[in-house]
Structure 1
Amino acid sequence: MTRPDIPLPEPASPVPGPARRPRGRAYFVPKQRSKLRRWITATSQKTGRLLGRLLFDAEGRPRALLRSLLFDAYQRPRPGMEGIVFKEPGRPRRSFAAWLEQADANLPPLVADLPFPAPPTDGRRRVFVVAERGVAMAPPLIARLARDHAVAVLLLDGEAGGELPAPVVPVDVAGAPASRAVLLDALALRAADDRPLFAVTLGLGAADAADAMEQRNIPVVAVVDPADAEASRNGAAGLVLERVLERASAIVFPSSAAREAALVAMPRFAARRRMLAIEAPRDAGAEKVAAIGREIGEEVDNELAIILATRSERLELLTIPRYDDPPGEVGAEQKLEERITMWRRMTLLKRRLNRQLVLRPYSGFHPLIYAEHHPVACFDQRRYPLSHWIASGMPPGPWAVPVVGPLQAPAASRLKVGLHSHFFYPDLLPEMLDRIRVNASRPDLFLTTDTPAKAGELRAMTADYPAAVRIDVVPNLGRDVGPFLTGLRDVLTEGGYDVFFHVHGKKTKGRRRAIGDPWRTFLWENLIGGGHPMLDTVLAHLEAHSDVGLVYPEDSHLVNWARNDRIVEQLRADLALTEPPGTYVDFPVGNMFAIRPAAMAGYLGLDLGWEDYPAEPIPDDGTLMHGLERLLPMAVRKEGFLTAAVRVPGVDWD
């Protein structure tokens, strides 16, 4: 269904004076699990692991009995078993995910004996024409396509019935050992090997072939025959037409009347792009069909070219190796093309954005926020958000933020700077001090921890630090947020500092340590320094741009509000925030940043006390601290300041 683009809100004028929450109001704390609930969870997990060993082998493959019950010979779920295999359409449950990734390996043998023509060597792109039983009246269309492209006809259960101006690949669907759906998927997979420009399907009898082609990122022009148009007014044919309208890149009706009749029957497609009426599309209208085919076929190439031609250095994020990269060297251009085609496939299938898609492709741009504001282009028309944004003139909005790169050499700032760091783990302080030494600036240090013994350790390690050092012992409440907003409220409100850095000694224990340590390294490398003087870099940007109130490391991971709706609703009311929240949010992930105290007037106006923070142990999400972390950029903008991101090329934490 087509939705209107979401208009940007009018910029809000700064509200004089800090926000204040109602006295006596307690902030929401997610309910902790009871001992019984924790026992039930632990027991169920243990039982699940035991069952997993019984049902799956050491390589994660379902054992023979489970395979025979749930799947056919081609790893497709048997009828009625989809709910056991898939969490949602097209998204396997975790236990089946790795095994189903190999399902395509079963497909090539099904079509290995088909007489596909050799790949074209004259520079022309392949175009497939798909028809069922026959290609009556189609030779003029095929001849027109063959003037510019290397055409091959995939004929399902039929005979050509005469000479055609293109090679024919006969496909025996009825006699195949696999189901029609599996065979067509195998056919589309084989067709994709030729990297065709587009495909044309003739008649609604080939509608499922159009679906299979589109799912393999082959754009399709679906031609509806007059008889199909008449039959589709009701019954099963109407459902087939609806499927084509949902999936095909373009659909061609044989007359305006047929097109209007379809819209009357299915009005939700009224604004659908490329729903055309072409008289005699197989004959006199062949030129128009060829033109629309070229248009849809060149979309991915055009989107790729638009991005590569515009500040391609910002694609540096794509050059960072990822754990799920295929073997061999994978360049930014290849990854970008994969992102574009995956976006098109996911929006085609109306699936949730998966993990690969929620990685930032281009520094300074948030594709999901942009797509949410431009749903017609990015969801209904399947345009890749980044290319659409560039083609639209890179308009400003909540999806774009300036990004600061490293200074070439250290340069001391003239600003008065404080740096707060909370150390639950004092052993991390030497690393932070080493990173500060990379810079020419020496901020005053404000260190907090939770015991006198730890404070003594911090004091000994900073004995020779060449600037002021204040060390406070604070309650073990509010993680790093409480020590900053409550423990240092006096410093933040006195007006003695132009900028405050807020960092913390992030570390995770046990099995999650593989996340915590790289994450801390990433944040400190970007905000303080290591390979580059990043503290100096941030200060230079703030000194040159008095309207910027917040700078934070740009994270490649893009997230939503998660389980923070309740606490965010409370905080938005207390902070008098009117900026629409949207589904996705760009914020200092990990809660480390540099900020002007004036830009956090709203937070300081909350006058948070130690009693406002939940007692440890706290839930993983949904607390006061998580809400404050996500709302910080919005609160800064409310005070009349802008935000910026900082990024060291080649650095990430995944």
Structure 2
Amino acid sequence: MTRPESSLPEQASPATESPAKDCPAKGRPTKRARYFVPRQRSRLRRWITANTQKTGRRIGRLLFDAEGHPRAFLRSLLFDAYQRPRPGLEGVIFKEPGRPRRPFANWLTGSDATLPALVAGLPFPPRSTGRRSVLVVIEKSATSASPLLRLLARDYAVVLLVLDGERGADEALAADGVALVPVDVARARAPRAVLVDALAFRAREDRPLFAITVGLATIDAADALEQRNIPVVAVFGEADADPARHETLGPAMELALERASALVFPTPAAREAALVAMPRFAARRRLAAAEAPLEAGAAAVLAIGREIGEELDCELSLVLATEPERLEILDIARENDPPGAFTVAQKLERLIADWRRKALLKRHPNRPPLRRPYSGFHPLIYAEHHPVACFDQRRYPLSHWIEKGRPPGPWSMPVFGPLPGPRASRLRSALHGHFFYPDLLPELLERLNVNASRPDLFLTTDTPAKADELRAMTASYPSAVQIDVVPNLGRDIGPFLTGLRDALTGGGYDVFFHVHGKKTKGRRRAIGDPWRHFLWENLIGGTHPMLDTVLARLEVSPEVGLIHPEDSHLVNWARNDRIVQELREDLELTEPLGAYVDFPVGNMFAIRPAAMRSYLALDLSWEDYPPEPIPDDGTLMHGLERLLPMAVRQAGFSTIAVRVPGTDWD
């Protein structure tokens, strides 16, 4: 049987001790008469959507084969022989630069397979085993760049690509240790853009430290190399930087400023003229000026090349050397991992390279969605606060943050791990669990048994029959249990904030845990169980006594008001702008909003009642919650879930996260 209510701690009178009631009437947050509820799609709209999708699948079977490849007639219509979009059709195939639309994504992953054959006959030298290579690209003749090439050859294996050069003109450079690779672009069977990309693809195999392109005529090569994550120093001559020729040279100069890692102008005046003509690039670093950069100023070009070439390696080393245990999240196998075994260092290197490429192409940083690479750090929030470094200069947010001394801010949060063993807490604790699905309660009770602490239980459900099931399951629980039947409104938030308001404001408990029996139905049904397992494993226990762990941290950290599992997914406000705006006004929250938010994803946490005083002061009633079925996003519950850490900080408390190493969910 359920323990009688008298066995629960006596609740103080709300009129005298409730944090919500203590607020002066003038300054207390007040709810509005009605909160925004997104419109549900009508039956007609759902029918139209379902039939449109069915028709789309039928058309898709006509246009694509069983492996998802476009059929021959569609390929000939949209693509050339090298799987490149025909001019003017890029928008049909790509959502944004470098990101194909879903129907074409699988097929385009093999587009690079057409490239090696285009450069197979070129005399690329074997990869050097003793020295890093440097690639130099020039048109017609390399005679003017001889001093620069000789200087490079002292320390590096230099590979010189001469596009459309005169036969035999630069062969003397071989005596200086320069490997000459002549490329006859004019007579090649492939278009120049495809051939240049093939050269960049081949050059990537040698992992050159950096590349140098000479003149605006080779800027297309600089673009292709940068897209293959080979950093480029673009060197200009007097004629390239002549402001009088801006109309003809402007597009190439703009591409150079957009893509090259570093630019070297022949004079400061030429650099300033380029920035006056295109001021949006004023934030770019490494826009240098060096007199005679191919001759007397060659040392300056070399120094810049070495700096940009070592940047990726430095970023990688910096992260790997700083609390490497916080990178364990990268060691978890993912469904979308590439085939083969990858170390944490290799995964991190891919992340850095992918970030640089997204920044290069001005792609959305969270498409496809990123994950947290380092426990306690949110790279997208950091990048949002440091746009020049992370977007204009393409610095990886994590390495830049470490380089700057790991400054505190909304992008970082303390994270702690499990205790070595169970330990009972002195704090008065309670656990609220909302169980629309009572069959999940035994799992929760089993996880509670891993701990030494036994919080009082406040269980809610929506029918008397389910309440009877919960009573039978908790008959032998060693602490007090209260089971209430509540309306099927507000999902798990309504039962907590409205159903348990008296317990939360009564002063009988130092800490409340809030969990719910999460299942997900419909097309996302595979998400529910892994998500719940992850949250309960981190907040309640399983392999480790996590409820004891959380209580122990709250005992020694009175400034902490909210603890929640650290989720690896990086989430924005989604479709919650309207409801978040309404709640911010009612809760009188003044903390600025960014594009991304760190909050208890899944809405399970441990909290001090005093830290949620503004939520309780709203005095939400059952009528405030939208009726079921509710939309997937944009409701009162979704807004309250995302704003909770902000309300906790407004109340004078801090938020921290808890993490069991090796755990995550997809």
Q: Supply the distance in 2 between the matched residues of 1:127 and 1:559 (Cα, whole angstroms).
A: 40
The corresponding residue for 1:10 is none
Matched, 1:150 2:162: no
Q: TM-score, normalised by structure 1?
A: 0.96
Is 1:535 the counterpart of 2:547 in the alignment? Answer: yes
1:350 to 358, 362, 368: 362
How far apart in 1 are the matches of 2:32 and 2:213? 67
Instruction: Tell me: CA distance 1:232–1:266, structure 2 relative to 1, closer, same or farther (3 Å).
Output: farther
The residue number in structure 2 matching 1:101 is: 109
**2:20 is the counterpart of 1:17:** no
- Residues 31 and 618 in structure 2, CA contact (< 8 A), matched pair in contact too: no
Query: Match for residue 131 of structure 1?
Result: 138
With over 3 angstroms needed to count, the CA separation of the structure-2 counterparts of 1:483 and 1:226, relative to structure 1, is: same
Task: Work out whether residues 443 and 467 of structure 1, in 8 Å CA contact, stay in contact via their aligned partners in 2.
Answer: yes
Q: Aligned match of 1:117 in 96, 101, 125?
A: 125
Q: Quick one: distance in 2 between partners of 1:71 and 1:380?
A: 32
- 1:209-220 aligned at under 5 Å gives the runs 209-220=221-232
CA contact (8 A) 2:145 2:295 kept: yes
In the alignment, which of 309, 312, 319 is matched to residue 321 of structure 2? 309
Q: 1:255 aligns to what?
A: 267
Mapped to 1, the partners of 2:244 and 2:329 lie a distance apart of 47
Q: 1:44 to 1:20 in 2, by over 3 A?
A: farther
Find the partner of 2:472 among 457, 460, 463. 460
- State the one-letter code of the partner of 1:559: V
Output the amino acid matched with 1:132: E
* Alignment match, 2:658: 646
Are the counterparts in 1 of residues 358 and 365 from structure 2 also a CA contact under 8 Å?
yes
The 5 Å alignment of 1:311-326 reads: 311-326=323-338
Kept after mapping to 2: 8 A contact 1:343/1:357: no
Question: How many angstroms apart in 2 are the aligned matches of 1:23 and 1:245?
Answer: 51
Whole-angstrom distance in 2 between the partners of 1:348 and 1:624: 38
Number of the residue aligned with 1:265: 277
Q: Is the 8 A contact 1:447 1:470 kept in 2?
A: yes
Aligned match of 2:92? 84
- Equivalent pair of 2:243/2:270 in contact (CA under 8 Å): no
In 2: Cα distance, 1:215 partner to 1:410 partner: 52
SS of the residue corresponding to residue 167 of structure 1 reads strand
Please say if residues 232 and 238 of structure 1, whose CA atoms lie closer than 8 Å, have aligned partners that are also in contact. Answer: no
Name the CA shift for 1:233/1:263 in 2 (closer, same or farther; >3 Å).
farther
- Offset at 1:277? 0.5
Choose the corresponding residue for 1:329, options 324, 337, 341.
341
Assess if the C-alpha contact under 8 Å between 2:587 and 2:615 holds in 1: yes
| 1:605 equivalenced with 2:610 (yes/no) | no
What is the distance in 2 between the residues matched to 1:112 and 1:324?
32
Q: Name which of 603, 614, 627 aligns with 2:626.
A: 614
Distance in 2 (CA, whole Å) between partners of 1:374 and 1:652 is: 28
CA offset digits 1:295-351 (Å, max 9, x no partner): 000000111111111101100010000112122211111111111111111011100
1:147–1:621: structure 2 CA closer, same or farther, 3 Å change rule?
same
Measured after TM superposition, the shift of residue 370 of structure 1 is 0.7
Matches within 5 A, 1:60-71: 60-71=68-79
Instruction: Please list every run of 5 or more consecutive structure 2 residues that lacks an aligned counterpart in the other structure.
Output: 1-19
Match of 1:228, SS? Answer: coil
Instruction: Measure how far apart 1:17 and its partner are.
Output: 3.1
* TM-score normalized by the length of structure 2: 0.94
CA distance in 1, matches of 2:511, 2:30: 29
Cα distance in structure 2, aligned partners of 1:584 and 1:428 = 32
- Please, which of 458, 469, 472 is the counterpart of residue 446 of structure 1? 458
**Corresponding residue for 1:397?**
409
Task: Report the residue type matching 1:571 in the other structure.
Answer: L
Q: Which residue of 2 aligns with 1:633?
A: 645
Query: Residues of 2 paired with 1:202 and 1:320: CA distance?
Result: 44
Q: Aligned residue pairs: how many? A: 640
CA distance in 2, matches of 1:602, 1:23: 11
Kept in 2: contact 1:420–1:447 (CA 8 A): yes
Letter of the 2:541 counterpart: G
What secondary structure is seen at the aligned counterpart in 2 of 1:137?
helix
Task: Give distance in 2, aligned partners of 1:449 and 1:422.
Answer: 6
Distance, in Å, in 2 between the alignment partners of 1:455 and 1:528 is: 22
**CA–CA distance in 1 between the matches of 2:470 and 2:28?**
35
Percent identity for Structure 1 against Structure 2: 73
1:280-291 residue pairs with structure 2 within 5 A?
280-291=292-303
Change (3 A) 1:423 1:357: closer
Q: Write the distance in 1 (CA, Å) between the matches of 2:28 and 2:486.
A: 24
